[in-house]
Amino acid sequence: MSLEAVKLTKTYEKVQVCLDLQVAAGETLALVGPSGCGKTTALHLIAGLIQAEAGILRSNGEDISKLPPHKRHIAVVFQDLALFPHLNVGKNIAYGLATQGIARRERQQRVTELLQLLRLPGYATRPIQALSGGERQRIAIARALAASQRALLLDEPFSSLDAPLRRDIRGEFLDLRRTSQAPCIFVTHDREEAALLGDRIALMAAGRVIETGSSAEVFLAPRTETAARFFGAGEVLPCTIRGERSTGFLVSSALGDCQVPFGSAYDPLGPLLFIPRDAFLLAGDQDRPPVDTYQVLRGVFRKSIFEGDRLTLEVEGPEQTLIRLAVGLRTAIPAPESPVRLYLDQGLLRFVKPGP
């Protein structure tokens, strides 16, 4: 089972959503982007909750663009969950199966399997009102997975949960997805969540998907300025291409002269340089660059930022350029305002296309 949207279009006063994407059977696509870019509208168009003005939606090659929502067999989980308060847990999960005409015994078996996967065995007869917020979240996802034949759509379903519970349910969601061949589109504003749950990530901006790729590709080797700035895994600097050497392009920027490897496309009208945070190493006074591709930079240490599972150092480099580098939690932190040396791994540099 696969899902494909081809120029699926809806126009509003301020933005036109024009959706082009493909999701393979069993694949989870994390859909991310700034507020107002059209992520939720994209889900509504796929589910049929909003009628598209143009374009095609295919499920496993079949055009379902004109079908009403209840005939698309696409399950949706919104932030408010929308569980049926008058039905118990088991009947909530089995509701979609019942509407599809699935036999009672098969429905009960599927409910039992899902509750076992969710670590909620024996919950089938419990009323919805007796569940905690996290338990309701599990049941909403189980109901969607049980009913879904063509696709599963989720619109930030974990955003209201506290961090420890969100981590637990993310893990259970991954377990549940392993049992399903339905393609899944997962809308989230959380970059970490997108990297964890998405087999691929798609970035939307101004109503269009502008870049897709694996977590490593969009975070560490983005193709556009928008992606480079949105995922925040490095710095973007204007640069000038001065020529070529045998090992790459010779480039000038605020960080000085450096080389960018061949194979990184650039826009000759205005190339921008993407520098991943992990391209930098903090150097000691007597250290030497570990390999020839490293460039030595000098700067002034400004501050460190503890981010729970990682540490970011801020250094003012040449021409007052702010450099952020990722280091281990046990790294010795320099004294504030002290001079430091950095090694820049030029092999990790990439050009990105200006604009979206």
**pLDDT given for residue 148 in this prediction:** 66
Side chain identity at residue 10, one-letter code: K
Looking at residue 352, its pLDDT comes to 92
In this structure, what token pair is assigned to residue 325?
């580098």
- pTM equals 0.85
pLDDT at 263 over 80: no
User: What counts of helices (H) and strands (E) characterise the chain?
Assistant: 9, 20
Predicted confidence at residue 355, as pLDDT, reads 77
Q: What is the pLDDT of residues 177-229, one digit of tens each?
A: 887 888 999 999 888 899 999 999 999 999 999 999 999 999 989 999 999 99
Q: Quote the pLDDT of residue 304.
A: 93
Residues of the chain with pLDDT > 70: what percent?
A: 95
Closest CA to 353 of 251, 269, 262, 252: 269
Q: Above 80 in pLDDT, residue 308?
A: no
Least confident of 30-39, 166-175, 244-253: 166-175
For the chain, the average pLDDT equals 87
Average pLDDT over residues 125-152: 83
pLDDT of residue 202: 97
Instruction: Kindly state the average pLDDT of the residues 160-165.
Output: 75
In this predicted structure, what is the pLDDT of residue 268? 67
With cut-offs at 50, 70 and 90, classify the pLDDT of residue 302. Answer: very high
pLDDT of residue 288: 65
Q: What is the pLDDT of residue 287?
A: 64
First-to-last alpha carbon distance for the chain, in angstroms, is 31
- Mean pLDDT of the region 229-243: 91
CB-based contacts of 43, cutoff 8 Å, min separation 6:
31, 76, 153, 155, 185, 187
pLDDT at 149 over 60: yes
Percent of the chain exceeding pLDDT 90 equals 45
Q: What is the pLDDT of residues 9-44, one digit of tens each?
A: 999 877 899 999 999 999 999 999 998 899 999 999
Q: Select, from the ranges 82-86, 137-141, 258-262, the one with the highest average predicted confidence (pLDDT).
A: 258-262
The CA distance from 256 to 67, in Å, is 58
The pLDDT of residue 286 is 55
Burial of 156 (0-12, 13-18, 19+ CB in 10 A): middle
- Reported confidence tier of residue 171, pLDDT bands at 50, 70, 90: confident
Longest CA–CA span in the chain (Å) reads 74
The closest alpha carbon to 146, from 96, 102, 101, belongs to 96
User: pLDDT tens digits, residue range 62-100?
Assistant: 999 999 998 888 888 877 667 888 999 999 988 878 877
* Domains recognised in the chain with CATH numbers: 3-220 (3.40.50.300), 227-352 (2.40.50.140)
Residue with the larger pLDDT of the pair 77 and 293: 77
